[in-house]
A and B are shown apart, each in its own frame.
Chain A
Amino acid sequence: MDVSEILAEHARKEQAVIVEKEVPLEVDAGFLTVTDPNPIDEESYKANLEEYLQSTARDGVQVLISALFSLPTTSSPDGPLAQLPPPTTQIPRAKPLPKPKPLTKWEQFANAKGISHSKKDKKVWDEEKQDWVNRWGWKGANKAAEEQWLSEVPMNADIDFDPAKKARDERKARVAKNEKQQEKNLLRAQGAGPSSAPPERKREIDRTLATTRVSTASMGRFDKKLEGEKKLKGVKRKFESTEVSSEKEKSQNLSILSKLDREPTTKKAKGGEAVLNVRKAVRAASKGKGSAALARDSNAKKGKKGKR
């Protein structure tokens, strides 16, 4: 029996299945990806590009499929299913890194001064009760001074001095102060910090100061200069650029013209706008003699009527 033919056949099959490269291919079965890190063989690349690409792709797919077949499988009505391992390739993150939380005022100060701050425990040890109690809150240790059944009263205290009330007020004030600080920190974090724009009052003062500085007889020219006084800056005039488009300029000019037509500036022009031309009317009524003559005539007529 001649088995050489069968052996050759098997060897060819084996050759087709096993891929050997200088640098082994990297398989990531989780993403069903194969990466070929081998350098391109320039000769065959230039000789026949299509064939070279096809052979490289075939090798890659071959390696991937043989890797898939080596995975553990589960049987299902549609046939065996391979269980993919978790992917190994690192993929860049889709979203940008989260921004660091804005520092509170205290944190900024501590950073600047190099103060390291260790977080306090919420519970503290109470020697009297021999138990852990809350630092604040329900049955908190910060209320200890208020709950003493006996407390020392200072010598110069008022008659109605209440040490429990005083301690409570102080504690409430501390809480209120902390809440205010928190609010300010929140505001600062939003970017609308109190220091972003000078308050209205300060701007008002600046304006008044600027006015008074030029309100002397020499318009501030020969006044005594204070140390650190800044030079006054006037309002700079702003003109349109010389090379505005002619269309825009024309429309602007026409709009100015139409405005002028609407509200005539001179008394004469106002008279011209009226429906009745008074000048012409007077001329026609007085037969060219003028308004004075017209008035005289009408007075004379009235006088005659009165005599009758």
Chain B
Amino acid sequence: MRPLTEEESKTVFTKLANYIGKNLVHLIDRPDEPYCFRLHKDRVFYVSESSMRLAISVAKPNLVSLGTCFGKFTKSGKFKLHVTALDYLAQYAKYKVWIKPNGEMPFLYGNHVLKAHLGRITEDTPEHQGVVVFSMNDIPLGFGVTARSTVDTRKLDPTAIIVFHQSDVGEYLRDEETLF
């Protein structure tokens, strides 16, 4: 376990800023308790300082996880967000997409969001913008990237893809052994 280097922090922050924009400050500068980012076995964990200090005393091979896993660094140095970061993304998300109840299951099985399943979408969402996907009763289901801007979606046919799937809560079951 170690703090991120400046390069790594930059990579993580640019990725997170894609979904939550300027709200990223609230993750770093929290009023309740100091939180920090820690790297352990290529995974980035967002953890309160107190529990990080407790984890210091655990040997490296024995430490499985701490705090919230935000994602992992690939071998080529890119940062991949995991569905475990969804809680924080949903809380601070800038652009949101709500899907109808009949579209929930297809999305949770790892499919893209189609126009037919689109319930609501934030106004002025640009193209290729990171968005968080909610069910109609405001339960976060996952996140992805918009295929079209809000305006362009109006003219599309119902089978067109609106949001490219990136991650969904179904992964908790599907990728159980590799996720954490």
Residues of A within 8 A of B (CB): 239-240, 242-244, 246-247, 249-250, 252-254, 256-257, 259-261, 265-266, 268, 272, 279-280, 283, 288
Asked if B128 and A268 sit within 8 Å, CB to CB, the answer is yes
- Contact partner of B34 (CB less than 8 A), chosen from A250, A280, A283, is A250
Q: Does B114 contact A (CB under 8 A)?
A: no
List 19 A-B residue pairs with CB atoms under 8 Å apart, sorted by A's residue number. Answer: A242-B3, A246-B34, A249-B3, A249-B36, A250-B29, A250-B34, A252-B6, A252-B9, A253-B37, A254-B25, A254-B28, A257-B28, A260-B14, A266-B14, A268-B129, A272-B126, A279-B126, A280-B124, A283-B151
Name the B residues within 8 Å of A288 (CB-CB): 151
Q: B residues within 8 A CB of A247?
A: 34
Bound-state CA distance A246–B28 (Å) is 10
Q: Which residues of A contact B1 (CB under 8 A)?
A: 242
Query: B42 on the interface (CB 8 Å rule)?
Result: no
Given A254-B28, A256-B6, A257-B28, A265-B14 contact (CB < 8 Å): yes
CB proximity of B49 to chain A, nearest CB, Å? 5
Chain B 13-70 residues near chain A, CB threshold 8 A: 13-14, 17, 22, 24-25, 28-29, 34, 36-38, 49, 52-53, 56
Give CA–CA (A239, B5) in the complex, Å.
7
Q: A246-B34, A250-B29 are in contact. List 13 more A-B contacts (CB 8 A).
A: A239-B2, A242-B2, A243-B56, A250-B34, A252-B9, A253-B28, A254-B29, A256-B13, A257-B13, A260-B14, A266-B14, A283-B151, A288-B151
Whether B111 is near chain A, meaning CB under 8 Å from some CB there, is no
Write the chain B residue with the least CB distance to A265: B14
A243 to B22, CA, bound (A): 27
Q: Is B120 an interface residue (CB 8 A)?
A: no
Contact of A279 among B13, B36, B37, B149 (CB under 8 A): B149
**Alpha-carbon distance between A257 and B49 when the two chains are bound, in angstroms:** 20
Q: Does B78 contact A (CB under 8 A)?
A: no
In the bound complex, residues from chain B placing their C-beta under 8 Å from that of A250 are 28-29, 34
| Cβ contact within 8 Å between A243 and B53 | yes
Complex Cα gap A279–B149 (Å): 10
Shortest CB distance B146–A (Å): 11
Residues of B within 8 A of A244 (CB): 3
Q: Are B13 and A242 neighbours in the complex by a CB distance under 8 Å?
A: no
- B interface vs A, CB < 8 Å? 1-3, 5-6, 9-10, 13-14, 17, 22, 24-25, 28-29, 34, 36-38, 49, 52-53, 56, 124, 126, 128-129, 149, 151
Least distance between A279 CB and chain B CB atoms (Å): 7
CA distance A283 to B126 in the complex (A): 13
The answer to whether A257 touches B24 (Cβ under 8 A) is yes
CB distance from B1 to the nearest CB of A (A): 6
Residues from chain B with a CB closer than 8 A to the CB of A243 are 53, 56
Q: What residues of A have a CB within 8 angstroms of the CB of B38 in the complex?
A: 242
Name the residue on A nearest B34 (C-beta). Answer: A246
A256 to B24, CA, bound (A): 12
The answer to whether B52 and A242 have CB atoms under 8 Å apart is yes
Most buried by B among A256, A265, A272: A256
Residues from chain B with a CB closer than 8 A to the CB of A261 are: 22
B25 near A257: Cβ-Cβ < 8 Å? yes
Residue of B nearest to A267 (CB): B128
9 closest cross-chain pairs (CB), A and B: A246-B34, A253-B28, A239-B2, A246-B49, A240-B3, A256-B9, A249-B36, A242-B1, A242-B2
A256 and B36 contact, CB distance less than 8 A: no
> Smallest CB-CB separation from B128: which chain A residue?
A268
A255 to chain B, nearest CB (A): 9
A247 vs B29: C-alpha distance in the bound complex, in angstroms? 10
Complex CA distance for A253 and B4, rounded to whole angstroms? 10
Minimum CB–CB distance for B100 against chain A, Å: 25
Kindly provide the distance from the CB of A280 to the nearest chain B CB, expressed in whole angstroms. Answer: 8
Tell me the complex Cα distance, A242–B56, Å.
8
- Which A residues touch B5, using CB under 8 A? 239
Closest to A254 in B: B28
Known contacts A246-B49, A254-B25, A257-B25; A240 and B13 CB within 8 A of each other: no
- Cβ-defined contact, A260 with B29, below 8 A: no
Q: Considering the complex, give the chain A residue whose CB is closest to the CB of B28.
A: A253
Which of A239, A244, A253, A261 gathers the greatest number of chain B CB atoms within 10 Å? Answer: A253
Kindly state the separation between the CA atoms of A268 and B126 in the bound complex, as whole angstroms. Answer: 9
User: How many whole Å from A17's CB to the nearest CB in chain B?
Assistant: 78
How far, in angstroms, from A253 to B37 measured CA to CA in the complex? 10
